[in-house]
Amino acid sequence: MAASSFNVRCRGLTLRYGRARRPSIENLDWDVHPGSTVLLGPNGAGKSTLLMLLGGGLRPTSGSVSIEGSSTRQPVGFMPQNVAALRGLTARQQVAYAGWLQGLRNSEAERRADEALERVNLSSDAGQQTKALSGGQLRRVGLAEVLVTGANLILLDEPTVGLDPAERSRFRTIMSDLRSDHSIVVSTHLVDDLDGLFDEVLVLQRGSVRFQGPLEDFMHLAPENEDRRRAEAAYLSLLPERTA
């Protein structure tokens, strides 16, 4: 994919749930950077809401998300925090089903499902019922469900939360591999492990942008003497009150 020719722009993006007193995303301007972006923010800051707006799962109350230069029918794919295991389906069938829902013919959906499962290192479990998979394996099925659609931009909502260290490391390796031919945006609470995986950082607080820029600039926000947990120190310097 030519990531650089693919643009996703948010302008004045605002989302208010029902009769909520204040918007969960407020007047947000953001150009999604080609490459990989980490989305940080305290609980309730609006990370999931922003990802759902980008993925088309929510319609903005006002403002817009525009997508230009995509070569596929489904330019953006969203993996939610909780990936559902569909009863009675194997991993291969569940991934192929996601492709079929996007309009692929059965044979094409199955072929792409095999490719996607290989990409997430699950080929050997393709015949397992998804209900029988571990939490980490199920997350990887969820990622394969996104890949099967051919999306250019992949949105991952807290993909490593609750995973054991081995599965977390496996997932990081897969994300790192995906950076070669996809743009990715990943929301996370885990600010200790950003280096080598992300180019850009977006920090949200109460639905507004608190910081956006290259990872290097973000790291410079950390006080001089903070070395080991530099990213966490940078993050805390933006959010002294730790409120959403």
Ligand X SMILES: Nc1ncnc2c1ncn2[C@@H]1O[C@H](COP(=O)(O)OP(=O)(O)OP(=O)(O)O)[C@@H](O)[C@H]1O
> Nearest distance from residue 57's CB to ligand X, in Å?
11
State yes or no: residue 166 binds ligand X (CB under 6 A).
no
State yes or no: residue 47 binds ligand X (CB under 6 A).
yes
Q: Pick the closest to residue 120 from 101, 93, 150, 147 (CA basis).
A: 147
> Nearest distance from residue 194's CB to ligand X, in Å?
16
The interface region with ligand X, picked from 40-48, 91-99, 133-141, 235-243 by CB under 6 A, is 40-48
Q: How far apart are CA 163 and CA 165, in angstroms?
A: 6
Q: How far apart are CA 242 and CA 236, in angstroms?
A: 7
Query: How many other C-beta atoms are found inside a 10 Å radius of the C-beta of residue 13?
Result: 24
CB-based contact 31:211 (threshold 8 Å): no
State yes or no: residue 20 binds ligand X (CB under 6 A).
yes
Candidates 2, 4, 5, 17: give the one binding ligand X (CB under 6 A): 17
Tell me how far CA of residue 217 lies from CA of 45, 99, 236, in angstroms. Answer: 21, 39, 15
> Nearest distance from residue 207's CB to ligand X, in Å?
7
> Nearest distance from residue 186's CB to ligand X, in Å?
12
State yes or no: residue 46 binds ligand X (CB under 6 A).
yes
Beta carbons within 8 Å of 18's beta carbon, 6+ residues apart: none
State yes or no: residue 186 binds ligand X (CB under 6 A).
no
Q: Cβ closer to ligand X: 47 or 170?
A: 47
State yes or no: residue 44 binds ligand X (CB under 6 A).
yes
> Nearest distance from residue 47's CB to ligand X, in Å?
3
Candidates 28, 38, 40, 41: give the one binding ligand X (CB under 6 A): 41
SS3 13: strand
CB-based contact 171:139 (threshold 8 Å): yes
Q: Pick the closest to residue 14 from 4, 3, 24, 6 (CA basis).
A: 24
Candidates 19, 21, 43, 240: give the one binding ligand X (CB under 6 A): 43
Q: How far apart are CA 147 and CA 91, in angstroms?
A: 14
State yes or no: residue 60 binds ligand X (CB under 6 A).
no
Q: Cβ closer to ligand X: 43 or 66?
A: 43
Residues of the shown chain interacting with ligand X in the complex, contacts defined by CB under 6 A: 17-18, 20, 24, 41, 43-49
